[in-house]
Amino acid sequence: MKKFEKSESELALFAHQCYLVSLAGFGDHSWTEAQYREHIEQETSVYYFEEYEGEIIAFVSFQVLFDEAELINIVVSPAFQKQKIGERLLIEALIELKKIAMKALFLEVRKSNLAAQHLYRKLEFESIATRKKYYREPVEDAVIMKKLL
């Protein structure tokens, strides 16, 4: 696992690769390349990623503020799914978040995404609330989860 260090010279390529992984994983629900670039540039964003043969195959991103973080995206390229890459990446990222004094991590997940919820529960996240009609296309509730670090 590597952390993106916000190098201006590598920003465009990193944003592009994140976009490609997201597009492959999420299809029409992916952020745009411009949205990734804008998020990556934010001072409070943190990205960890895995590479294979010089290409990003998975990444996880967070927004950090004071002593709390929010999981923004976790994506594994379809060709590399079902190999626990996402789980390992998230576990390693949780360790890194602890090192920078984060005390809690929050996330939203589609109510229908039972596989993701299973992973989060396995990693000791707990459901704390529901946001009605949070997602679009299709409209769906979000389960809000929290993990103390």
What does the pLDDT look like over 52-87, one tens digit per residue?
A: 999 999 999 999 999 999 999 999 999 999 999 999
**Cβ-proximal residues to 48 (8 Å cutoff; 6+ apart), any chain:** 1, 2, 3, 4, 59, 60, 61, 89, 92, 93, 96
Q: What is the pLDDT of residue 29?
A: 86
CATH number of 2-102: 3.40.630.30
- pLDDT of 28 higher than 90: no
Residues of the chain with CATH 3.40.630.30: 2-102
**Which of 2-11, 33-42, 57-66, 116-125 has the least mean pLDDT?**
2-11
Q: What is the pLDDT of residue 67?
A: 97
- Is this structure's pTM higher than 0.85? yes
Positions marked catalytic = 108, 120
